[in-house]
A = this chain, B = another copy of it.
Amino acid sequence: MTDILGEMRRTHHCYELGAEDIGRQVVLMGWVQRRRDHGGVIFVDLRDREGITQVVFNPEIDQKVHEKAHALRSEYVLAVRGSVAPRPEGMINPNIKTGHIEVIVSEIRILNNAQTPPFMIEDRIDVSENIRLKYRYLDLRRPSIQKNIIIRYKASAAVRNYLNDKGFLDLETPVLTKSTPEGARDYLVPSRVNPGQFYALPQSPQLFKQLFMISGFDRYYQIVRCFRDEDLRADRQPEFTQIDIEMSFVGEEDIMNISEGMLQHVFKEIMGKELNLPFQRLTYDEAVSRYGLDKPDIRFGLELKDLSDIVENSGFKVFSGVVKKGGVVKAINVKGGINFSRKELDDMTDFVSIYRAKGMAWIKVKEDGWQSPIAKFFSDKEKQAMIERLDMEPGDLIVFGADMPKIVNESLGHLRNHLGKKLDLINEDEYAFTWVTHFPMFEYDETEKRCQALHHPFTAPFEDDYDKLESDPLNVKSRAYDIVLNGFEIGGGSIRIHQMEIQKKIFAALGMDTSEYEEKFGFLLTALESGAPPHGGIAFGFDRLVMLLCRESSIRDIIAFPKTQKASCLMTNAPSEASKAQLDELALKIRKIKLEE
């Protein structure tokens, strides 16, 4: 039977051979990375997944083989048989493992030719991302991105190995599930067998993993695809992968221990880095108070200090007025920031205005006193109190926020991150983890005029707060926890409600009436009164974790076939139109679409 490979079978990868293999007969297969002709001899860098070997076509060794090699161009696919030989003096490349040898070819099969690619198959290329995505199969040949995809695989394997060892079961949950419009927008899938009805793609397997606990599986995990039909930001995709974990008979500590152990294992396996355990823990209140944000980058200082008590009666009416209205005045001491120019200060004011701050007061601390438009408004006592609280020294720049707490914290929190980068305070080799705990259970939705769950409605409130669920819901703390790495939220979870009565109270606090929650979550409520154990879990955003492991800044560089920000695939042209026959079977019609222009 004829076959293009003939009798040839690969004996080695292209990064396997070294000086110890000299004299050996080998068969290599791969792509032409580069061809050079030198003194009548043809040299080809042959590339496969593992690396490169130089293969040599010498007319003095084999005339016919050399002739065939004349046809070779970039990205042609070859099988070559030959013997491993030492490279001539002066041609040794000590930087790569195969740099001491070459393969003198005695047989070649050209397995396929290749059109000239639209961009070079190498790391530094000057081409738009759209072209890269259209020819993604070529883009994936570039070493940096191929390495990313392989790191992604290794990270998932490390996660599995760790969790398997700890008695977790990898259990599958459905992808065609029920739409429960809570949280983000669902992707819907029309049913043909039940016309007019729809499945939803899961935003997470949340309820299924809780049901696994109720079934007694005890420890569950899954590396699972989830879906959210949101308007896409740079780091979002319509489909994303999460490491989903759930455990029975546990409290917060148990989930945190497993999570820390898992991350330690992954960082060890992928980066050879030993993480110190346990990670730092901050309550939500502390994180927001010190860093302005609930996902603080703790690799650098510049912490926020609350000055409200100091300035509440000061002569500076902007500050005292804010405090009297229930707002706060906070400041950051930008150590050594005295030389910031007027322009830089204006830019910072523009920056905080993104977060709705109405201005940004500042003080430069000089040897001979404060330089500041607002210095004159403070008494000596107030000044002294500020100096102490902010640890002010000559050379410092102090920047202020004064407004309602949310605005002050967000604007100064983001300004802090901005300054951390600008002032080069961040050690890029550091991986600083922190847990954030004790989140508020609810936040008030001004548009809908009702409470929303800050995490999700299955998160347990602290038992001590049960009696506030009806009377004072906004002061109920939840048993949720987020894990933050270098300012990115990489995971989050909670201890869940395992008692039907509490679950009903939460649904009620969210404004659902009995018939609404019975229709949507009746099966969960019945399950909760069927012997549900205490349980909790966590989910890690696998894409973002891999992005950080690969030191990439775009999530599209660690996903093999990503979508654009318009949620389309430039390679396959998905999504695309459906045929009338398909729509008829689904009992669907497309409404007339208004043209946007």
Interface residues of A (CB under 8 A from B): 1-5, 9-10, 29-31, 47-49, 75-77, 79, 111-115, 117, 135-138, 140-141, 146, 149-150, 152-153, 156-157, 160, 164, 169-179, 181, 185-201, 207-208, 211-212, 214-218, 225, 227, 229, 231-232, 238-239, 241, 248-251, 254, 462-464, 498-499, 523, 526-527, 529-534, 559-561, 563, 566-569, 571-579, 582, 584-591, 593
Contact = CB atoms under 8 A, between A and B. Distances in A.
A249 B29 contact: yes
Contact of A498 (B112, B135, B164): B112
A532 B77 contact: yes
A176 B563 contact: yes
B534 A198 contact: no
Copies of the chain in the assembly: 2
Given A49-B217, A196-B590, 9 more contacts: A1-B462, A5-B249, A5-B251, A47-B216, A140-B215, A140-B216, A178-B573, A193-B232, A225-B225
Contact of A29 (B146, B251, B533, B571): B533
20 contacts: A1-B462, A31-B216, A77-B532, A112-B531, A117-B530, A153-B170, A176-B187, A176-B239, A176-B574, A177-B574, A178-B573, A178-B574, A186-B582, A188-B578, A193-B232, A196-B593, A197-B576, A207-B572, A523-B572, A588-B589
A165 to B, nearest CB: 11
Contacts of A174: 239, 561, 563, 569, 574
Nearest to A32: B531
Contact of A172 (B218, B560, B572, B577): B560
Given A171-B149, A217-B149, A589-B589, A572 B533 contact: no
A76 B216 contact: no
Contact of A574 (B113, B170, B199): B199
A32 to B, nearest CB: 8
Contacts of A559: 172
A31 B464 CA distance: 26
Most buried by B among A152, A572, A575: A575
B215 A146 contact: yes
Nearest to A559: B172
B591 A587 contact: yes
Nearest to A31: B531
A464 B4 CA distance: 11
Contacts of A4: 463, 498, 534
Contacts of A251: 3, 5
Contact of A216 (B5, B49, B254): B49
A534 B141 contact: no
Contacts of A187: 176, 189
Contacts of A211: 136-137, 140, 561
A592 B533 CA distance: 46
A401 B238 CA distance: 56
A163 to B, nearest CB: 10
Contacts of A194: 566-568, 575
Contacts of A571: 523
A360 to B, nearest CB: 37
Given A114-B531, A160-B160, A171-B560, A587 B590 contact: yes
A568 B195 CA distance: 12
A244 to B, nearest CB: 14
Given A532-B77, A533-B77, A192 B227 contact: no
Contact of A229 (B192, B212, B587): B192
Contacts of A249: 5, 10, 29, 79, 111
B591 A590 contact: no
A326 to B, nearest CB: 29
Contacts of A181: 579, 582
A5 B534 contact: yes
A87 B217 CA distance: 28
